[in-house]
Structure 1
């Protein structure tokens, strides 16, 4: 059975949504119902949050060795995914969690029907954020770009199975990252939209998926082609304060300085909660950046 984890950005719990979710023993029986299944993350809008904003697979639940009376829901690597579109708690006055009489608990089960509804709304289908044909990212196949159809059992099953598809995850990650940066390159500040309404920037993982980097906006940057190429090859990186670091291997420093923003700092996402996480920036500096 899938479930819901309520997470606040000002939480005192040791949460790392793409790695673990900490909760007290009082929620253990509820959380155990969706061990080995999907959970969606909900951040209260009244507390400045995003509503339902992500999904991840709960691999197992273990006692927290660092805090008595608490447990950790451990997230399966490579399953966390930020939604392309945040999902509010209510739509047109109707709760999205229609099958739950009291959707208040911080940890609560979710019916399969409500889960699929949230996933369908969260994944979305925004044509203008899809990669261009020929982009490094795999293009989204036409069969998956059809207009949304009414719910049917077969469609619900396929929709949830799509959470493990790399093609779908790349598309959703791109949509979420570009929305966070207003479709603007974080390094150059440039915002180009082509004649078809498609943003001319890519969504770059700071720590690549191949190196166990999650599909989290905190692990992403919106980058134009040249900046993306240089970032992936370690010619530029970011300090924790988002200052741009330039490798001594760059052969044309003057041109690069003209390309970068005048303050030599990357722009921040529109929502501060989506800012690049220091752990991912540190990984890039230590494993990719060429001093």
Structure 2
């Protein structure tokens, strides 16, 4: 503004971005990053400063947003695979249900999505949670006859095999032969996953 209160005209006042004086910049920094920032953040969601709180009051959990990149997955894959196997585990033959009566079987990719595996039913197996874990971690696979269950016996205890896998040691196949696992997908799993140590996580039976 001019001394008389009227707006200034011409020159730098017409620019879209104005120069920021050093004192203004310092004030912005001090307001956004105060000296006691660490202490403020430490007590932001814990007003008691870390003291133990055993109350049962509802906790308003902060909501975080983040942007991630991962391969697209067909949402119908889970439904189609589970239906193809009649909601039974392909390795144990069991149909497990939760307290609400819903099948607990999962849809597992034979060739993983991050290894260019497709969302075709023929790249899927319906598996219980533990067998899905074992299948992904090189402990079990399917032989080249597309039926015989292979087990890494040096890693999987015998009593685990007898309790979790089908007694005849054969893969349960879908009623529709067109939904059966593709031999190439099973071959890929045998050659690229089976027999390979992937993790140091403790086994679920240990």
TM range (shorter): 0.5 to 0.7
Q: 2:137 aligns with which of 230, 233, 239?
A: 233
State how far apart, in whole Å, the 1-side matches of 2:86 and 2:177 are: 13
Structure showing greater relative contact order (alpha-carbon pairs closer than 8 Å, 6 or more residues apart): 2
Alignment of 1:240-251 (within 5 A): 240-241=144-145, 242-251=147-156
Alignment of 1:50-129 (within 5 A): none
> Which residue of structure 2 aligns with residue 190 of structure 1?
94
Alignment of 1:1-291 (within 5 A): 166=72, 169-241=73-145, 242-290=147-195
1:251, distance to aligned residue in structure 2 (A): 3.7
SS of residue paired to 2:141: strand
Going by fraction, where is strand more abundant, 1 or 2?
Answer: 1
Q: 1:252 to 1:180 in 2, by over 3 A?
A: same
State how far apart, in whole Å, the 2-side matches of 1:269 and 1:284 are: 19
State how far apart, in whole Å, the 2-side matches of 1:267 and 1:251 are: 21
State how far apart, in whole Å, the 2-side matches of 1:259 and 1:170 are: 29
When Rg is computed on C-alpha atoms for both structures, the one with the higher figure is 2
Confirm or deny: 8 A CA contact 1:189 1:267 kept in the other structure.
yes
Confirm or deny: 8 A CA contact 2:139 2:156 kept in the other structure.
no
State how far apart, in whole Å, the 1-side matches of 2:172 and 2:156 are: 24
Confirm or deny: 8 A CA contact 1:236 1:247 kept in the other structure.
yes
1:170, distance to aligned residue in structure 2 (A): 4.6
Q: 1:196 to 1:246 in 2, by over 3 A?
A: same
**Unaligned stretches of 5+ residues in structure 2:** 1-70, 197-206
State how far apart, in whole Å, the 1-side matches of 2:98 and 2:160 are: 24
**Unaligned stretches of 5+ residues in structure 1:** 1-164
- Point out 4+ residue stretches in structure 1 off by more than 4 angstroms: none
- TM (norm. structure 2) is 0.57
State how far apart, in whole Å, the 2-side matches of 1:173 and 1:249 are: 33
1:250, distance to aligned residue in structure 2 (A): 2.0
- TM (norm. structure 1) is 0.41
Confirm or deny: 8 A CA contact 1:183 1:201 kept in the other structure.
yes
Q: 1:227 to 1:213 in 2, by over 3 A?
A: same
> RMSD across aligned C-alpha pairs, in angstroms?
1.9
Q: 1:68-96 CA deviation, whole Å, 9 max, x = no partner?
A: xxxxxxxxxxxxxxxxxxxxxxxxxxxxx
Work out the number of aligned pairs and report it.
126
Q: 1:122-174 CA deviation, whole Å, 9 max, x = no partner?
A: xxxxxxxxxxxxxxxxxxxxxxxxxxxxxxxxxxxxxxxxxxx83xx453100
